[in-house]
Amino acid sequence: MKKYVDFGCIVCSHKALLWTIAAILFAFLLIGLSIIVSKSLPNKKDHLLPPDDYSKALHTALRFFNAQKSGRLPKDNNVSWRGDYGLSDGNVKGGLVGGYYDAGDNSKLHFPLAFSMTMLSWSVIEYSTKYKAIDEYDHVKELIKWGTDYLLLTFNSSATTIDQIYSQVGGAQNLTQNSGDVKCWQRLEDVQYERPVQVTTQGPGLAAEMAATLAAASIVFHDNMEYSKTLLEGATALYNFANDKGKCRSYSLNNSNIARHYNSTGYWDEIIWSAAWMFYASGNISYLERATEDTVATHANAFSRITDLRVLSWDNKLPTAELLLTRLRIFLGSGYPYESLLRRYHNEAVRNMCSYLRQFNVFNWTKGGLILLNHGRPQSLQYVANAAFLASLFADYMNATGVPGWYCGPYFISSDKLRFFASSQVNYILGANPMNMSYLVGYGDKFPKYVYHHGASIRRPSGNTKNEKVYTCHGGWAWFDSAKPNPNEITGAMVGGPYKSDKFEDDRKDRSHTEPTLAGNAGTSCCIGLINHQWWDWY
Ligand SMILES: *[C@@H]1O[C@H](CO)[C@@H](O)[C@H](O)[C@H]1NC(C)=O
Ligand SMILES: *[C@@H]1O[C@H](CO)[C@@H](O)[C@H](O)[C@H]1NC(C)=O
Ligand SMILES: *[C@@H]1O[C@H](CO)[C@@H](O)[C@H](O)[C@H]1NC(C)=O
Ligand SMILES: *[C@@H]1O[C@H](CO)[C@@H](O)[C@H](O)[C@H]1NC(C)=O
Ligand SMILES: *[C@@H]1O[C@H](CO)[C@@H](O)[C@H](O)[C@H]1NC(C)=O
Ligand SMILES: *[C@@H]1O[C@H](CO)[C@@H](O)[C@H](O)[C@H]1NC(C)=O
Ligand SMILES: *[C@@H]1O[C@H](CO)[C@@H](O)[C@H](O)[C@H]1NC(C)=O
Ligand SMILES: *[C@@H]1O[C@H](CO)[C@@H](O)[C@H](O)[C@H]1NC(C)=O
Ligand SMILES: *[C@@H]1O[C@H](CO)[C@@H](O)[C@H](O)[C@H]1NC(C)=O
């Protein structure tokens, strides 16, 4: 098949070519897109790779997900200080047992949880060969399944039409109550307080993100037909919920228990993102139609030039959606009548990449070389890791199609520059920074020891737990206030990150800089794209 690559924003006006491409595209759809999706990046090496710094970092980062698991933990979960908990979560039929805790507290927040799983799935779809080569393939799939099994419990996954989704378990509840995550500092294995479930009956943002998660995972699990089918059916129900005109309000609207944590500020980005994944997973052209509707793109501000919309986060999927659809155009061609919108998404994806390059001064940078995608506010690293993922992926798309670079306005930019951006940012996270601090716990010689995390900060009872001291809601604060490092290492956690001055206080009380999150760690899969490019030496 002729590859259809058009990087310089040059309009291809050969109608005949478009029709040929359209015909080929439809032929592909018939035989199943998902097969093509997982095969279109070059898959050369299948022997074990020698461990380089990025593969070591990825081994480490993935272990964070093990530490955040909720429910009945598997025997080989490999986090000695964690135990079963949340076995009666969601006092509803089937329960809400399982999933992941969001961050340093004891709550499960499904919006960022779903986003994290989508990102992990995408990285597996693109780089399954590398995951196999570093011996993390089974592990990462197990982590995804831990998330998707749980998400399938949060709505009626045996129905084709649903009208509610459980969106949260626990959380900083009613602040006037004398319990909950805010008032208590406890290992969650010891928690007695109620962790109420939030139900949402509206909200395309949550439903569409979950549809994207399950659709992407259905590709990851294509070797397990039964499970893959279950995932896609669940995704379809969620997708329909998300596109129900009667439910078009933010899922966090008027629910402060949700909005306090992850307030979704728009949902059209998730509509495009989910439609793209539904298309990849099912080959059903109606999803591509949806993703490329003019009105949808307009609602999502896809062509608005708002700088912040170039920054991928748990709240803004626009840059990922644009790149995912660009992928379609690069590898499969798009075909009439989708070409016009896909070309515009492709141009935006390209502009996103340009904005990450220092020479164009779109964002500020720290003296130590970190791009300030969230304008110097706390938790800078999650945005940086996400951008590094997108950049290294786009560089790989170019490499896979033999394209040496792209244009930012009149300037030709070699794809190496993008990979350099990605590795320089990941290197910063891993220790190449003025603090000489690796912000990934357990990686390198110097990493945070005072991570804001209930479970990691309290010594777990050893031996006969019946007679051991259990720290109460209020008693546990002694651990929070302790000047000593955490007794438990939360291996693999990427903390919020440094100040815009490059400074970092390793201090539990500095929550917004020392707390790790699922959504933050999702970006650490950016390392997979960088493995074995050996650019570490450049720093
Ligand atoms: C558990 O962690 C240790 C220490 O990093 C590692 O050597 C071991 O392979 C891990 N085991 C499993 C089953 O993941
Ligand atoms: C789920 O949907 C199925 C099929 O529509 C229905 O039979 C079942 O009662 C539903 N379950 C719940 C808990 O609503
Ligand atoms: C918060 O908790 C207090 C005390 O239990 C209760 O009186 C109040 O109604 C609760 N408020 C909400 C919004 O749930
Ligand atoms: C949300 O709350 C505002 C103000 O209390 C109210 O005007 C609005 O109707 C509510 N929206 C929904 C969807 O409940
Ligand atoms: C959540 O986002 C909406 C829309 O941007 C905004 O109106 C609302 O004030 C936000 N709520 C909170 C609690 O931040
Ligand atoms: C494709 O998706 C649309 C919208 O969800 C649906 O109505 C249609 O039946 C699907 N077509 C096939 C062949 O599955
Ligand atoms: C960059 O920093 C300057 C000076 O602090 C500030 O005015 C500007 O808004 C920042 N730009 C961005 C994109 O954050
Ligand atoms: C790009 O692709 C070529 C040929 O496939 C390969 O030899 C080269 O190492 C790649 N370069 C990078 C930086 O990925
Ligand atoms: C980081 O390492 C460099 C080079 O070894 C050293 O000059 C510098 O003082 C270190 N900075 C900190 C904050 O430890």
Would you kindly state where each structural domain of the chain is located, as residue ranges? 4-40, 53-68+110-153+162-171+181-528
Query: Does residue 4 have a pLDDT over 60?
Result: no
Q: Is the dihedral of CA 222, 224, 230, 231 positive or negative?
A: negative
Atom of ligand 5 nearest to the CA of 252: 1
**Atom 7 of ligand 2, residue of closest alpha carbon:** 159
**Atom 3 of ligand 5, residue of closest alpha carbon:** 265
pLDDT band per the 50, 70, 90 thresholds, residue 85:
confident
Gap from CA of 345 to ligand 6 centroid (Å): 24
pLDDT of residue 94: 60
pLDDT band per the 50, 70, 90 thresholds, residue 29:
very low
253 in contact with ligand 4, CB cutoff 6 A: yes
| Structure-token pair, residue 322 | 């644009």
- pLDDT tens readout for residues 171-229: 866 656 667 888 899 988 888 888 889 999 998 999 999 999 999 999 999 999 999 99
Q: How is residue 493 annotated by DSSP? A: P
**Atom 6 of ligand 4, residue of closest alpha carbon:** 254
In this structure, are residues 526 and 320 in contact, taking their beta carbons and an 8 Å threshold? no
The amino acid sitting at 371 is I
Separation CA 437–CA 441 (nearest Å): 10
Angle at 518 between CA 373 and CA 384, to 5 degrees: 20
**Atom 14 of ligand 1, residue of closest alpha carbon:** 78
User: Which residues have any ligand 8 atom within 6 Å of their CB?
Assistant: 399, 419, 533
**Atom 7 of ligand 8, residue of closest alpha carbon:** 399
> Ligand 7, residues 364, 372, 380: which to mutate, most atoms within 8 A of Cβ?
364
Gap from CA of 396 to ligand 4 centroid (Å): 46
Separation CA 273–CA 161 (nearest Å): 21
Task: Please report which ligand is nearest the Cα atom of 60.
Answer: 1
Per-residue b or e along 324-353, where b marks 16 or more CB atoms closer than 10 Å to that residue's CB? bbbbbbbbbbbbeebbebbbbbbbbbbbbb
The string of DSSP letters for 466-491 reads GGS----TTTTHHHHH-SSPPSS--T
pLDDT of residue 188: 84
Task: Please report which ligand is nearest the Cα atom of 402.
Answer: 8
Q: Which residues contact 293 (CB under 8 A, 6 or more apart)?
A: 341
> Ligand 5, residues 250, 251, 252, 306: which to mutate, most atoms within 8 A of Cβ?
252
The amino acid sitting at 501 is S
- pLDDT tens readout for residues 302-355: 999 999 999 999 999 999 999 999 999 998 876 778 999 999 999 999 999 999
Gap from CA of 298 to ligand 5 centroid (Å): 21
pLDDT of residue 33: 44
Instruction: Give the relative orientation of helices 318-332 and 380-400 as an angle to the nearest 10 degrees.
Output: 10
The amino acid sitting at 309 is L
Bridge partners for 74 per DSSP: none
Separation CA 470–CA 290 (nearest Å): 53
Separation CA 171–CA 197 (nearest Å): 9
* CATH code for the structural domain at 53-68+110-153+162-171+181-528: 1.50.10.10
Gap from CA of 171 to ligand 3 centroid (Å): 15
Gap from CA of 23 to ligand 8 centroid (Å): 31
pLDDT of residue 177: 65
Per-residue b or e along 32-43, where b marks 16 or more CB atoms closer than 10 Å to that residue's CB? ebbebbbebbee
pLDDT of residue 21: 44
Separation CA 345–CA 9 (nearest Å): 11
Q: How is residue 441 annotated by DSSP? A: T
3-state helix, strand, coil in the chain (%, to 5): 50, 5, 45
Average pLDDT of the chain, as a whole number: 87
**Atom 3 of ligand 2, residue of closest alpha carbon:** 159
| Structure-token pair, residue 354 | 């340009």
pLDDT band per the 50, 70, 90 thresholds, residue 534:
very low
Query: Does residue 14 have a pLDDT over 60?
Result: no
Separation CA 192–CA 188 (nearest Å): 9
The alpha carbon of 268 is separated from its chain's Cα centroid by a whole number of angstroms, namely 18
Q: In terms of Cα–Cα distance, which of 38, 383, 414, 70 is closest to 218?
A: 38
> Ligand 7, residues 375, 383, 499, 500: which to mutate, most atoms within 8 A of Cβ?
375
pLDDT band per the 50, 70, 90 thresholds, residue 90:
confident
pLDDT of residue 383: 97
Sole residue written with tokens 């990941």: 426
Least confident of 25-34, 96-105, 268-277, 349-358: 25-34
Atom of ligand 6 nearest to the CA of 282: 14
Gap from CA of 399 to ligand 8 centroid (Å): 6
- pLDDT tens readout for residues 277-308: 999 999 999 999 999 999 999 999 999 999 99
pLDDT band per the 50, 70, 90 thresholds, residue 414:
very high
Upstream peptide bond of 337 is cis (omega within 30 degrees of 0): yes
pLDDT band per the 50, 70, 90 thresholds, residue 254:
confident
| Structure-token pair, residue 26 | 């439809």
User: Which residues have any ligand 5 atom within 6 Å of their CB?
Assistant: 259, 263, 265
In terms of DSSP H, where are the helices of 356-406? 380-400
Gap from CA of 380 to ligand 7 centroid (Å): 15
Atom of ligand 4 nearest to the CA of 254: 1
